[in-house]
Chain A
């Protein structure tokens, strides 16, 4: 039953991705000033939203791990798997943002990159979570989960500071499309639909990968625990 549900969910996700692609490339109207290159927006912004969502999952996992590691070791292992899976999927989405952004910027601004508030913040966010993954790779033994959780919390605290610092420094990124003031928001309903479908599709896709990654991590945790138990029994 569970397998069928997962299979159905995966199929629905792929269907959503195809539908989102169709909406973004064929249905949504041409944008007046930026033309075709504006369509990258339907991938750039949903990826950014997904990245933030999955980094938030990672943060919750880190805090949960630290809170439960003494009294509920089994829960703590689950939290740790969520933290790792969230960080990995978040880094992938963040990479997509960092790749699609310059492609758009080259056409719209005439430059690939600028040290603007949101670009710099996203880049540093990416660096922080890559360093988190490096720590998980480098540090060996059972303490790695605790250390990674601590670094995850540090990284999350750093993000708003980075953002404020860069906002005071300089800002070139277009003003927020949503909640950015009276003139913000997408006016054309077809654009809004294409955007909405892509947000849904990419978040669904991310959740699927997150689930798979979580499952794989849980399996490797269980395998480690089994090995440790066998080693104990042999003594």
Chain B
């Protein structure tokens, strides 16, 4: 880990620690989505197990968009981003630090949300619960790596808050599908989720690599 990456990461974590903007807004938003889904679908018994994976993933996805927009909007103020573009450190470091920070935030949200979720949906996990510890981080990484990248991409456009979900969601769809199916099969215990975990892992590798390679271009786009 290079020093620039570490500095960026510490800075992002410190800002978040002082304001707690991202985690709080995400948490409340995800909670709202979970409540809205339970009101509209009335989940009970086997049905709740079938949809729970999807609801959790979609709730995380919607919630993280608000935080990802903030991640770069914060750098725009006082021309911080321009200063960082001139700094002689690789842009990939800054990108990776932001991804790591946001990954931590979303993970915190998931950890807090999971018990609430289990209670509200009366869940009893029938498959191997420990596999969730693979699926959720892999899925979150896919979401956050792409989301951070596209947030940086849409930051200098008009109505950027609107643009991020519009370009992120189509690209994220295969990962969402894999994440939903993997969580679903773990919750119901009907099928083996390992294929979907492998797909998620491959998706993470491919898109993290491409993001790291192309981030410099996006950062210096003019």
Contacts and interface: CB of A to CB of B under 8 A. Distances in A.
Partners in one complex: yes
B207 A138 contact: no
A76 to B, nearest CB: 12
B40 interface: no
A169 B218 contact: no
Contacts of B222: 142-143, 146
Interface residues of B, number: 31
Contacts of B206: 157, 161
B173 A146 contact: no
B153 A168 contact: no
B174 A147 contact: no
Contacts of B195: 168
A141 interface: yes
A157 B158 contact: no
A22 interface: no
Interface stretch (B62-70, B122-130, B164-172): B164-172
B200 to A, nearest CB: 10
B163 interface: yes
B199 A168 contact: yes
Nearest to B203: A161
A164 B157 CA distance: 33
A157 B207 contact: yes
Interface stretch (A79-87, A88-96, A148-156, A218-226): A148-156
A45 B163 CA distance: 32
Contact of A131 (B167, B178, B217): B167
Interface of A: 66, 124, 127-128, 130-132, 134-135, 138-144, 146-147, 150-151, 153-155, 157-158, 161-162, 164-166, 168-169
A158 to B, nearest CB: 5
Nearest to B199: A165
A151 B210 contact: no
Nearest to A135: B167
A158 B177 contact: no
B221 interface: yes
Top 10 closest A-B pairs, CB basis?
A139-B157, A146-B221, A143-B221, A127-B170, A165-B174, A128-B170, A131-B167, A162-B174, A161-B174, A138-B157
Given A140-B157, A151-B153, A157-B207, A166 B217 contact: no
B117 to A, nearest CB: 24
A165 B195 CA distance: 10
A135 B218 contact: no
B186 interface: no
B157 A135 contact: yes
Contacts of A162: 173-174
B153 A147 contact: yes
A131 B210 contact: no
B219 to A, nearest CB: 10
B177 A135 contact: no
Interface in B189-216: 195, 199, 202-203, 206-207, 210, 214
Contact of B210 (A124, A154, A166): A154
Nearest to B215: A150
A135 B154 contact: yes
Contacts of A165: 174, 177-178, 199
B19 interface: no
Given A164-B199, A165-B178, A66 B217 contact: yes
A153 B171 contact: no
A139 B156 contact: yes
B26 interface: no
A138 B27 CA distance: 29
B181 interface: yes
Contacts of A135: 153-154, 157, 163, 166-167
Contacts of B221: 143, 146-147, 150
B154 A139 contact: yes
Contacts of A146: 217-218, 221-222
A162 B153 CA distance: 22
A147 B221 CA distance: 7
A131 B166 contact: yes
B213 to A, nearest CB: 10
A135 B217 CA distance: 16
A91 to B, nearest CB: 13
A131 B167 CA distance: 5
